[in-house]
Copies of this chain bind each other. A is one copy, B any other.
């Protein structure tokens, strides 16, 4: 009908005061069974559900978790956001999801504060940031009481948050161990620069390359449109005559695979993220699995336990990744 029924309508129908209705919906005890029944009946008849945000306005918080997704075009992020949402839903906790809209001003990535403000206006009880944000200024002004967990990215300048992310060093060790065991030594890394996760991964690669006594060749791609710039970067990388290419993520690797196809090259190739496309027979990409399930578990644990969160505030929690070996690194092995 015209408008959602309110606590007022329910009270009137049940013949009680509004306060009593509020009590019934908030507290387990403190209301007589008779009246409780009466209120529930009226509520059911009217199809009443509490307005969570009017409630938040008054009480100052409202048990839901705000999820901010850094980039909707990254399937890893949306998939993770949904996994987290489901995990919380299973515990009866609602999640609201918003995107951070990114604009580029004078070559610098800036995020629009408006969506974040709106999210904060809703008074979430905690915040989950999925992916790396170039800019944390919209979060500067918020209450210290609000727990913030950042995931799939390092913390950056968000000092008060807990970050849960893949152990990049370990991931690159797995990749290079694998490639070296296949006899590769002329390896080129292909990936973007300038963004947080991109930089973390580059550093991890460089550090591990040094440990593996491998010369570090790096070829850069654009940050966005990974698969397209992967193609371009792949063509450049091939001019260095590598025997193996290590890519920033699966999407870049897919683009590089196109470059290999065009040049009829059979250079070994690795990705990162274990996107399901990598598992297709025609793609069959060796890649790093970030262990999303473990990450979700950790996030749920952190945001369900205020004391645990407080004790880990400002820390980075590293989750151990796995290597998934497929055809893309098998060609040399077969010789």
Chain A residues in contact with chain B, CB under 8 A? 1-4, 47, 49, 51-54, 56-57, 64, 72-73, 75, 78-79, 81-82, 85-86, 89, 94, 96-99, 101, 112-115, 117-118, 120-122, 141-144, 227, 254, 257-258, 261-262, 276-277, 280-283
A160 shortest CB reach to chain B, Å:
13
Q: Which of B99, B121, B276 contacts A51 (CB 8 A)?
A: B121
A99 shortest CB reach to chain B, Å:
6
Q: Which residues of B lie under 8 Å from residue A144 when comparing CB positions?
A: 2
Q: Which residues of B lie under 8 Å from residue A4 when comparing CB positions?
A: 120-121, 141-142
Known: A57-B57, A96-B118; 17 extra A-B contacts, CB below 8 A, are A4-B141, A4-B142, A53-B57, A53-B118, A72-B82, A94-B118, A96-B96, A96-B98, A227-B280, A257-B280, A257-B281, A258-B281, A261-B282, A277-B277, A280-B283, A282-B283, A283-B283
Q: Which residues of B lie under 8 Å from residue A227 when comparing CB positions?
A: 276, 280
- The answer to whether B72 touches A101, judged by C-beta atoms less than 8 angstroms apart, is no
The 8 closest A-B pairs by CB, nearest first: A72-B82, A261-B281, A258-B281, A282-B282, A78-B78, A51-B121, A53-B121, A53-B53
| A257 CA to B277 CA, complexed, in Å | 12
- The answer to whether B101 touches A115, judged by C-beta atoms less than 8 angstroms apart, is no
Chain copies in the assembly?
2
- The answer to whether A121 touches B54, judged by C-beta atoms less than 8 angstroms apart, is yes
| A258 CA to B277 CA, complexed, in Å | 11
Identity of the chain B residue whose Cβ is nearest the Cβ of A258 in the assembled complex: B281
Q: Knowing A2-B144, A85-B99 are in contact, say whether A72-B78 is a contact too (CB < 8 A).
A: yes
Q: List 19 A-B contacts (CB under 8 A).
A: A2-B144, A4-B142, A47-B141, A49-B113, A51-B121, A57-B57, A72-B81, A73-B79, A73-B82, A75-B75, A82-B99, A86-B101, A89-B101, A94-B114, A122-B122, A257-B280, A257-B281, A282-B282, A283-B283
A195 shortest CB reach to chain B, Å:
18
| A4 CA to B113 CA, complexed, in Å | 14
| A81 CA to B81 CA, complexed, in Å | 15
| A1 CA to B73 CA, complexed, in Å | 33
Identity of the chain B residue whose Cβ is nearest the Cβ of A114 in the assembled complex: B94
Identity of the chain B residue whose Cβ is nearest the Cβ of A51 in the assembled complex: B121
- The answer to whether B94 touches A97, judged by C-beta atoms less than 8 angstroms apart, is no
Identity of the chain B residue whose Cβ is nearest the Cβ of A3 in the assembled complex: B143
A211 shortest CB reach to chain B, Å:
33
Identity of the chain B residue whose Cβ is nearest the Cβ of A71 in the assembled complex: B82
Q: Which residues of B lie under 8 Å from residue A112 when comparing CB positions?
A: 89
Identity of the chain B residue whose Cβ is nearest the Cβ of A72 in the assembled complex: B82
Q: Which residues of B lie under 8 Å from residue A258 when comparing CB positions?
A: 280-282
- The answer to whether B54 touches A1, judged by C-beta atoms less than 8 angstroms apart, is no
A63 shortest CB reach to chain B, Å:
11
- The answer to whether B99 touches A99, judged by C-beta atoms less than 8 angstroms apart, is no
Q: Which residues of B lie under 8 Å from residue A72 when comparing CB positions?
A: 78-79, 81-82, 85
Q: Which residues of B lie under 8 Å from residue A79 when comparing CB positions?
A: 72-73
Q: Which of B52, B85, B143 contacts A2 (CB 8 A)?
A: B143
A236 shortest CB reach to chain B, Å:
17
| A78 CA to B74 CA, complexed, in Å | 9
- The answer to whether A118 touches B64, judged by C-beta atoms less than 8 angstroms apart, is yes
